[in-house]
Structure 1
Amino acid sequence: MVTNQIRFDDGAAYERYMGKWSRLAGETFLDWLAPQSGLRWLDVGCGNGAFTEMIVERCAPVSVQGIDPSEGQLAYARIRPALRVAQFHLGDAMAQPFSDDAFDAAVMPLVIFFVPEPAKGVAEMARVVCPGGSVAAYAWDMYGGGFPYAALQAEMREMGVEVPVPPSPGASRIDAMRDLWAGAGLDAVETREITVQRTFTDFDDYWTAILGGPSVGQQLAAMATEDIELLKARMRARLPADASGRITYSARANAVKGRVPN
C-alpha cells in the first residue's frame, strides 16, 4: 500500500515523532519573538498542542486559541493539563473562523508547507491580528535538507518507497517566507534560521519515534520485513551512535515575523 497523503490523526504518535523537535525549535523561535505578556494568541495548525503548550507556559497569555483540520490532533491537545485554559477549533488555515483584529499575535508552527495556498493562510493571519500585532511562523527547511527525518526519507526513496511530500514545500524557503509576509502587507519583516539537535537514547528509541509518524508511518507499515531490516541497517550507518549508544543529529528551520500595519 502506497499513499501520497500526509495525515495527522494520532496525537500521541505525532508527539513521539515531532513534538520534541517542535519544542526544541519553538524555544528559539519564542526567544526571537520576545513577546509581551498578556496577549491574545492564535496558534494556526496547532496540531496536538505541542507549541500551544509553550505559549501558555512561557508567554503569560490572556487567551490562547488554536485551529487545526485534524480532530484527532485536537483531542490530544485538549487533554494536555496546561491547555485547559486554551480553546481549540476544527478549521482551515485558509478560511479562519475568527473576526478581524481578534488577536494580538498569530503563529504558524511547522505548518506553512502543509497549506495548499500559503498566501491565503498568511493573509488570514494578518486579517485576524489587530494593527500593531505580530504574525510569525517557523518551518523545517524542506528544500535545504533541514527536515528532521530527511535522511530516513532519502533512504526510503533509494529503496523505491514513495514518500509523500507536503503540498507546498517551497513555502518553507527563507526567501519564500519573506515574500509571503511582504505580500500580505506586513511591516518590519525579519527572517532567521533555527538549528536544533535532538538526542535519542539509542537506535530503538529513534525507531520507536518514527513509527506512526505521519510522513512515513503508513509506508513503513506496508514494507516487507526484509526491507524494514535493510532500512534499519542503512539508517544505523547514517546515524552512528556514541559510546553510550545515543544518537544525536541536527535539524534546521526557517523563521519569519512581521507586524500588522497600524
Structure 2
Amino acid sequence: MDVWSSGEIYESYVGRWSRKVAAEFVSWLDQPPGLRWLDVGCGTGALTSTILGTANPAAVVGIDPSPAFLDHARQTVQDERVRFEVRGAEDLPDESFDVIVAGLVLNFVPDRSGALRRMRELGQTVAVYVWDYAGEMQLMRYFFDGMIALRPQDSAHDEGARFPFCTAEGLEKLFAEAGFNDVTTRAIVVPTVFESFDDYWNPFLGGQGPAPAYLRSLDEAAQVELRDEVRSRLPIAADGSISLTARAWAARGN
C-alpha cells in the first residue's frame, strides 16, 4: 500500500519537482481565463497553485483523500477562488467543470479508466500527467536500478514495473478506453539538481511513497548496502552536486 501522510515529506521527495512540471503542464493546456477547474488528487497544492497563479481561473476545486496533504495545501495556497475537499478520484464532486486535471495521481487510482470516464462526464477538457517511472524519471530510476541489482527478487516493487501504463502510449490507451476520441500527449522534462548525495538520498528516508516505503522495510545493513549501490551509479560532479532530469508524460482529451 502506498501511504501519503505528510505534506512536508512529500514536498522534499517529489513535490518540489512536481511544481516545475505543473508550470509546463498548465502552459501546454493554454486555457482561456475565467474557467472552473477541478484538480483531482491535488496533494499539497502544487498544480492548484500553478493554475491560480498562471491560468486566471474563476474557481478551482482541489480534492485529495489525504487530510494531511489538504492541511498543507490550505496553509500554502490561500486564495478566495479555491476550495479543498477530502475526496478520492472515485468520488468527484457532482458539478460541471471547464477543465479537470490530475497531476501525478492516476497511477494510484485503482480504476483508472473509470475515473477518466467520470472526469469526461463532468469536464470539457481532461488532462493528466504521470512520471515516466520506467524511463527518464531519473531520481527514482537510479534508486530502483540499484535495488534490482542487489535484490532482483524485489523487482516487483519497481514503479516502472508496477505502473507500465505511464508512457505516452499507455495514457493514449487509457483515454481511449474512457471514451475520448481526440487525445494528445507530450513529454515534459525538468531539471532535478541536488546539492549533494545527502540532498538526493535524505528524502528517501521519509518512508512516504513506494521507494521510501520499500527502503524503510529493509534492515539497517540492507539500507546501507542499497545507499552505497545507488551512490556508485549516480553522476556525482567534482563539487558533489548531482544533475539529473525528470520526465513526465502528459495527456489531454476533449
TM-score of the two chains, using structure 1 as the length reference: 0.86
Matched, 1:143 2:131: no
The equivalences for 1:34-183 within 5 A come to 34-83=30-79, 85-99=81-95, 102-129=96-123, 133-144=124-135, 146=137, 148-160=139-151, 162=154, 163=157, 165=159, 169-183=163-177
Measure how far apart 1:35 and its partner are.
1.5
CA gap of 1:32–1:247, structure 2 versus 1, over 3 A, is same
Over the matched positions of the two proteins, sequence identity in percent amounts to 34
Say which is worse superposed, 48-57 or 140-149, in terms of deviation: 140-149
Q: Which amino acid is the alignment partner of residue 223 of structure 2? A: I
CA gap of 1:228–1:182, structure 2 versus 1, over 3 A, is closer
TM-score of the two chains, using structure 2 as the length reference: 0.89
Cα offsets for 1:120-179 (capped at 9, x unmatched):
1111111111xxx21101111233353641221232243338437599713322122112
Q: Which amino acid is the alignment partner of residue 190 of structure 2? A: V
Give secondary structure in 1 for the equivalent of 2:127.
strand
CA gap of 1:158–1:84, structure 2 versus 1, over 3 A, is farther
**Separation of aligned partners in 2, 1:61 and 1:187:** 26
Name which of 219, 235, 239 aligns with 1:240.
Answer: 235
Say which is worse superposed, 167-176 or 203-212, in terms of deviation: 167-176
C-alpha contact (below 8 Å) 1:136/1:258 kept by paired residues: yes
CA gap of 1:139–1:167, structure 2 versus 1, over 3 A, is same
**Separation of aligned partners in 1, 2:42 and 2:199:** 25
**Separation of aligned partners in 1, 2:160 and 2:38:** 23
**Separation of aligned partners in 1, 2:75 and 2:240:** 33
Measure how far apart 1:92 and its partner are.
2.1
C-alpha contact (below 8 Å) 1:196/1:252 kept by paired residues: yes
Q: Which residue of 2 aligns with 1:17?
A: 13
**Separation of aligned partners in 2, 1:164 and 1:243:** 30
Give secondary structure in 2 for the equivalent of 1:172.
coil
CA gap of 1:148–1:41, structure 2 versus 1, over 3 A, is farther
Name which of 252, 255, 258 aligns with 2:250.
Answer: 255
Give secondary structure in 2 for the equivalent of 1:211.
helix
Name which of 202, 219, 222 aligns with 1:224.
Answer: 219
RMSD, aligned CA: 2.2
Measure how far apart 1:115 and its partner are.
1.1
CA gap of 1:148–1:40, structure 2 versus 1, over 3 A, is farther
Give secondary structure in 1 for the equivalent of 2:210.
coil
Cα offsets for 1:58-114 (capped at 9, x unmatched):
111111111111112111111114456421111121231323xx1110001111111
**Separation of aligned partners in 2, 1:127 and 1:199:** 40
CA gap of 1:253–1:36, structure 2 versus 1, over 3 A, is same
Q: Which has the higher helix share?
A: 2
CA gap of 1:169–1:197, structure 2 versus 1, over 3 A, is same
Say which is worse superposed, 178-187 or 46-55, in terms of deviation: 178-187
Say which is worse superposed, 165-174 or 195-204, in terms of deviation: 165-174
Give secondary structure in 2 for the equivalent of 1:116.
coil
Listed as ranges, the gaps of 5+ residues in structure 1 are none
Give secondary structure in 2 for the equivalent of 1:79.
helix
